[in-house]
Amino acid sequence: MKLTKESSYFSSSATRIITWKCSLELISEKIIFGYGEGLSGVELNKLYKNKDYKQLDNKNLNSHNQFLQCFLDHGLIGGCTIIFFTIIMLFKSLKTKDYLYSLFLILITINFLTESMLETQSGVVFFAVFNTLFFFQWVDKNIS
């Protein structure tokens, strides 16, 4: 599907690509502190209107990428935190052969790449509970 403004319908993949590009554009404007929790959606909608993406504006879409969403909302601090708790911990858990935690982090990272999972209460609870359990198990294993 072509990524043109004149299209009356965007496929799911085309929609994500457009939202990612718009998110990156906004991140480049406020990379240090971000826009603040909840305000990034307002800024994305303004950008959708300015670029004449009416379908995206009407759907009030977020960035559909948790890493981009954290950079949008919280800037470098939020972006680096989410990268630490996923990518860096994935490498550390693989190094220490904690394969269950590694599998969890691989699945979470894949989900984070295509969805803003932590924008919903169920996503936050799921990630918080399981990441905490696996993380502290990993800490106990490495301290012992």
* Inter-CA distances, 42 with 26, 63, 101, Å: 11, 12, 35
Residue 1 pLDDT: 44
Question: What is the identity of the amino acid at 31?
Answer: I
Summarised one tens digit per residue, pLDDT across range 55-92 is 888 888 899 999 999 999 999 999 999 999 899 999 99
Domain ranges of the chain: 12-71, 78-143
**67 contacts 112 by C-beta, under 8 angstroms:** yes
Reported as a pLDDT band with limits 50, 70 and 90, residue 38 is confident
Which tops the pLDDT comparison, 133 or 56? Answer: 133
Cα separation of 114 and 78, whole Å? 18
15: part of which helix (H) or strand (E)?
helix 12-29
Q: Is the pLDDT of residue 5 over 80?
A: no
Query: Who's near 23: CB < 8 A, 6+ residues apart?
Result: 44, 63, 65, 68, 69, 71, 72
- Angle value at C-alpha 54, between 49 and 57, nearest 5 degrees: 65
Reported as a pLDDT band with limits 50, 70 and 90, residue 9 is low
Q: Is the pLDDT of residue 8 over 80?
A: no
Cα separation of 39 and 27, whole Å? 13
Summarised one tens digit per residue, pLDDT across range 84-119 is 989 999 999 999 999 999 999 999 999 999 999 999
Q: Is 65 helix (H, G, I), strand (E, B) or coil?
A: coil
* Inter-CA distances, 63 with 7, 15, 33, 115, Å: 20, 10, 17, 8
